[in-house]
Structure formats: C-alpha cells, structure tokens
Amino acid sequence: MFRPLRNLFRLLGIARTLARYDALFPADWLPATGGLVFAARLLSGFRTARSVRGLRPGERLAKALEALGPSFIKFGQMLSTRPDLVGESVAADLSSLQDRLPPFSSAQARAAIEAEFDQPVELLFEAFENEPIAAASIAQVHIAKVRRPAPEAADETQSAEDPAGDDDSDGEDEFATVAVKILRPGIEAAIERDLDLFRWIAGLAERSQPRLRRLKPIAAVETFAASLRWEMDLRMEGAAASELHANFLDDPMYVVPVVDWERTGRRILTTEWIDGIPIHDVDDLVAAGHDLEAVVAKASESFFLQVFRDGFFHADMHPGNAFVRADGALCVVDFGIMGRIDRPTRYFLADMLLGFITRDYDRVADVHFQAGYIPPDTDREVFQQAIRAIGEPIFDRPPNEISIARLLAQLFQVSERFNMEAQPQLLLLQKTMLIAEGVGRRLAPELNMWQLALPLIEEWMREHRGPEARLAEITANTILAVQRLPEAVHAVEKAARTITEGRLSLDLRNTSSPKWPLWLAIGVTAVLAVIALAD
C-alpha cells in the first residue's frame, strides 16, 4: 500500500527535475502520465534551466540525469546502450553522460579504508593524498604510496609489468604510487531505494503497454540492478582488471594496471598508478611527440582482440579511461563495466560483418536466422531486402566516414521491425564501438580504425570460420563421441540386464516410465552405423 504512494511522490520529484531541464519526453513512454507532466511543470514554475536551452533532447536528458544523482547517471549510461528503447539520437547523446559528482570528505575516505581493513591508513599506506583526483557517482579515487616488497620477495612478473612505479616522479624507487578507489558512503542504500522505483515503473509499463513487452523492461531493470551490485563490490572490478591484464600479459604496449589485492576489499580497490596523457588531449599528445595514427592502430587492434579473441572487453572506453604512456603504450583504467561475448555470438558477428564487407546480404540474413535472433516465420526475402538497404549506402562513402557502430545500430533498428529480441551483449558492444570510433576520429580523422583491424579480422576468420576450422571442429566432435562410446555401450548393457531381470518395465504407454535406456540404445546404434559406413 505504501510503496505506490512513496514511489508516486518520488516520481513527482523526478518529473519536476526533468521539467526544469525540459526533458520530460520519457514520460511519453509511460501510460497516463499527462497529469504527472502538468504537475511537474507547475511545480517547476514552467521554468527551464538556461544551461539546456538550444540543446538536443538527449543532451537535456543527460543534464537532468546528472542532477538526479548516482543511480540515474548509471541508468542513463545503461540507456545509452539501448537505442531500441530510446532511439539512436538520444542513445548517442547519453553516451557522453558525465559520471562525476562533488567529492566526499577525506575523513570519510579514511574511515572507509580503516573499516574495510581494520587498520589505520598509516599502516596500509606510506602516504595518502587527502584530496581525490576524481569523484564519480559510485566512488572516488585518491593517490597513495606503498612500500615496494623486498627484491627477493617480489613477484618477478609483476615487477616487470609495473612501469608506472619505475617512472615515479619523485624518483624514490623504494615506494610505488597506487590509485585507491573508495565507494561513496551510503551508496548501497541509495541505489536500492532507486532500484525499487525503477522496478515499479518497469512493472507498470509492462502491464499497461503491450508494445513494450517485447523490450522486456522488467528484465532490463534486473540486468541493470545486477550490474550495479557487481559494480559496488570492488573485488569484482579488481577481478575484471586482473583478467584483462592476464589476456594482454604478452603485449607491453597495452597496459592494464596490476591489482594490489592486499589493499583491496569490497569497498576499496587499490591498483598501480597509470602515468600518461589522457587520450583525448590531442595537443598534449602531439607536443609529446606521439604518433597519433599508431595510437589509433593500437586501440583498434586491442579492441579486436578483446572482442573476438577473448570475448571479454572493456565496455566503458570513454576518453577519461584511456591514457598514452611516454613510450606510446595505450593504458586503460576503470573496469566497473565490462562486456562478455560467447563464442557463438562471436561467430555470428564475424559472419555478419564479413557478409556486409563482401555485400553478401544473403549471408547476413542467414546468420540472423541461424542464430535464432529472427522468428522463423519471418519473410526471409523481405528481411534480406532490409539488410541490403542498410549495407548499400555504406559503399558510397569514403572509408574514414564508415561507422561500423552506426551500421550495427541501424541493423538493430531494422531487426526490431522483424520482432528481433534485444541482445544486451550486442547493444553494449555497439555503444562501446561508438565511443571508440569517436576517440579514433578525434586523434586521426583520416583513418578508419576498423579498416586498420581488417588484416586481423581476415586472419581470425580463416582460423575460426574457414573450411579447415570447420573440419577440425567436426573431427573434434567425432573424436569426443567415439571416446564416450564405451561408456554409452556399458550403460546400454546395464540397462538391458535391468530389463532382463525384470527390475524395469518399458511401458511406452505410460509417460512417467523412464525411457532413456531405449533412446540411448537407439543413439548408440546410430553412431555405430555411421562409424561402420565410414570404414
């Protein structure tokens, strides 16, 4: 009883903020919100903030979400990956949502560290900067110093991969500089309060708006809630950093900071300090003598390897999270949002992109049906025609103007008309690609970062999607089946003895009777027949 009233009052306050930023258009997505919109405008005095006049709707919404606080900033970032929900233009504007808030006090930061490790800050760190270097919606970051382990006790691998420590500006080799990330006090309770509101709104929308059910708003909120909970456990971010670090262990030009697990807990994450020039500071990069085209090439290569080789990629690649070290190495930080793509989805992506590159639109259509993304009763010829309408305009543009991210966005929009269900992992990938393209164009406008990765794509396709790879896969599956054959035959013999001894009745008219021995026998017989024919 109290939940609807509580959420209605909260919704009215949110609507008032949206009205102040002239960003009430999301209310159109919900049923019967005319009264709420009018009340919000009335409470705001029908005034619009000067700072948003002349801005696009998505830009105004981004400003409003920043004003509403942590959960709404994160929710806006999630919406930036869902052009199927908010439209491509709004999604693109939300991609630039600034995740920053005023910092909390150094006393609170120190108290959080001491509560996490049950030790004074002075025992954990040789020095700790009270002023944070960054303050975002979930956490803020401080610089600190730690004493290096004795040479004989140090991890040789980690020491070799700790260039930031070797380049400490104070020149004191005895100490290493680290970044200490600390969750905001009370953030968990604030997030849970907002999530309750989001669930209530999603349930209301799904019950009253049948057209929205295909987009699964309740499931989308639950996915958002799960990602936020993981993000508020900094051990999970440390694990993500560690995994990405391991994936690029042999690549000295793509740097992921080493996690200091001794000083990492649920609410505290400590990593080595990354010293470099932010990737969006073009003038500083040029002044330092960096080859911008080489930086773009490295960004392209590393992104391809993350997506196709590893199926695990950094999904928050805004310019503030990437730096160029003095030796030209690309360094990344902040691993709260990561994406995973399983092997079948990687094959789908590779086949689809190859189809577009070769103008084989039949192939593009086929992989959609084979993946089960498009309902089987869809008119295949009409779908193929829609795919062609996306692909053909690409070939009329210069290479540096071709955007694979926008191609994917258009593909998702067209697929929506054919009742394709949303694929969250692909939407997150598309959003990440869009940000990466923006950074690449800022650094080297004449280059297309995906064209730079083409040799890698071709090699990967030959290795994983060529005839040899398919033959190897079939051979491996056959060998596995043969290896399991003795076990299956033994199971059949055991089942036969059970039947012979009268301890099991195969009454096929009784649906509750176990039938697996019969079906297993049929399967084994079929395998034996295939092997005999092969001989």
Residues carrying an active site annotation: 316
Burial of 311 (0-12, 13-18, 19+ CB in 10 A): middle
What are the φ and ψ backbone dihedral angles of 339, each rounded to 5 degrees? -115, 150
What letter represents residue 401's amino acid?
A: E
Instruction: Name, in order, each residue with C-beta under 8 angstroms of 171's C-beta and a sequence gap of 6 or more.
Output: none
Contact 162, 245 (CB under 8 A): no
467 burial via Cβ count (<10 Å: 0-12, 13-18, 19+): exposed
Following DSSP, what letter does each residue of 72-97 receive, concatenated? Answer: HHHHHHHHTT-HHHH-HHHHHHHTT-
- The 10 Å Cβ neighbour count of residue 440 is 25
Residue 482 CA to residue 461 CA, distance in Å, equals 29
User: Positive or negative, the Cα torsion across 56, 57, 60, 62?
Assistant: negative
- Within 10 Å of residue 202's Cβ, how many Cβ atoms? 20
In a 3-state reduction of DSSP, which class is residue 445?
A: coil
d(CA 436, CA 315): 10
CA dist 289 and 436 (Å) reads 22
CA 236 to chain centre: 14
Q: In this structure, what are the phi and psi dihedrals at residue 130, rounded to the nearest 5 degrees? A: -70, -35
Rounded to whole angstroms, the Cα distance separating 81 from 425 reads: 9
Measured between alpha carbons, how far is 96 from 188 in angstroms, rounded to an integer? Answer: 25
Query: Three-state secondary structure along 131-196?
Result: CCCEECCCEEEEEEEEECCCCCCCCHHHHHCCHHHHCCCCCCCCEEEEEEEEECCCHHHHHHHHHH
